[in-house]
Amino acid sequence: MAEAEHREEKPTIAPMEALLQACSRNAPLEIVQADRAGEEPFARGRMLEIEDGVLMVEQVQMIGKVAKFAKKTPLLAYFRFGHRLYEFRSRVVTVDEAVKLNRALLVPAMGIELPKAVEEGQRRNVYRIPLSALKDPIRVEVWREMEVPDDSELPLQRGQTLDGDGVTCSREGGESDEGEVLVPSRRADWGGTLVDASDVGLGVNIEKCRMTEIKLFSEFWVRFSIPGDDEGALAFKAEVRQIRSVREGVIRVGLLVLEGNNRWAHAGKVRRLWGFLTTWRRRVCRVIDPTEMGKA
């Protein structure tokens, strides 16, 4: 009951209305042939407009190449709006259409049926890129959402104060005016490894943790560094969607990444993560020398 109450406290919007608003903002839409969901990467393109019951989507691409779908292909699609992931089923109506993006620019597009129903999405339907073959696992710091009494004496991150130093804002965590996610200045509650990821979620093995310490729909902060990325660590706020025990003292947690107040700042971080993931997947699919794996 407590978990349900926690979830109901968040403001919601009707799923179909979320689709209409996301389209008006030209938000990305991810599509895959319905019977291949979870097995193949999604193709991505921006939603452009809705006309006569058809949702027009800019020419979709899949990991750096144009993706082609035949007419009448059944699709599973998902999109993000605010802090939520939505999904719906549709089918291809038209291909190779030209849609006017503005007064001067025409872009190639495809049309899919406007769905009759949209529902909250499940991360398990999204293609997740496994990272277990990395030579050096990606280490993750994890903080749970909690209220910290003013007189508490919690251990702080090295070099941090209770008020933070511009990198973190407080013991509780938050978000800067520029949309930067600020992890709590206290020492991380747990450490772990990133085991899989997509552009909407993360799979993390959390160490020295018990099942009773994590609740569905609770919010976490996570921070990790991408191999070969010199722009600094990525920090996300995320919601717990899946929990299971891996072995004694290790819990697998599936996290839905939440979009912050500044969607452009969030999109920039997601691009960095997705760039690494797609590069890594291409290298694995080439069946390269296993001794080279993990040097991406």
Q: Give which of 183, 179, 159 is closest to 171, Cα–Cα.
A: 183
**pLDDT on residue 5:** 43
Q: Considering the domain boundaries, does residue 2 fall inside one?
A: no
Q: Considering the domain boundaries, does residue 171 fall inside one?
A: yes
Is residue 180 located within the same domain as residue 197? yes
Is residue 103 located within the same domain as residue 203? no
**pLDDT on residue 35:** 87
**pLDDT on residue 142:** 95
Q: Considering the domain boundaries, does residue 5 fall inside one?
A: no
Phi and psi angles of residue 189, each rounded to the nearest 5 degrees, phi first: -70, -35
**pLDDT on residue 41:** 73
**pLDDT on residue 186:** 85
**pLDDT on residue 282:** 74
Is residue 165 located within the same domain as residue 253? yes
Phi and psi angles of residue 258, each rounded to the nearest 5 degrees, phi first: -95, 140
Is residue 114 located within the same domain as residue 134? no
Is residue 101 located within the same domain as residue 169? no
The two tokens of residue 245 are: 């025990």
C-alpha–C-alpha distance, residues 59 and 108, integer Å: 5
How many domains, in total, are found in the chain?
Answer: 2
Is residue 227 located within the same domain as residue 92? no
Is residue 269 located within the same domain as residue 177? yes
Q: Considering the domain boundaries, does residue 3 fall inside one?
A: no
Is residue 281 located within the same domain as residue 134? yes
pLDDT tens, the chain, 296 aa long: 444 444 444 456 789 999 999 999 888 898 989 888 767 777 888 899 998 999 999 888 876 567 889 999 999 998 888 778 899 999 999 998 878 766 667 888 899 999 999 998 766 656 678 898 888 999 999 999 876 655 566 677 776 766 665 556 566 788 887 778 888 888 899 999 999 998 788 999 999 999 999 998 899 999 999 998 889 999 999 989 889 999 888 999 999 888 878 878 887 888 899 888 878 877 765 544 433 334 43
Is residue 14 located within the same domain as residue 153? no
Instruction: Name the domain boundary from 83, 110, 125.
Output: 125
Is residue 104 located within the same domain as residue 86? yes
Element (H or E) spanning 30, and its range?
strand 28-33
Kindly report the CATH number assigned to the domain that includes residue 45: 2.30.110.10
Domain membership of residue 36 as a residue range:
10-125
Q: In angstroms, what CA-CA distances link 134 with 138, 193, 278, 280?
A: 8, 11, 14, 9
Is residue 219 located within the same domain as residue 182? yes
Is residue 278 located within the same domain as residue 181? yes
Q: Is the pTM of this model over 0.85?
A: no
**pLDDT on residue 265:** 85
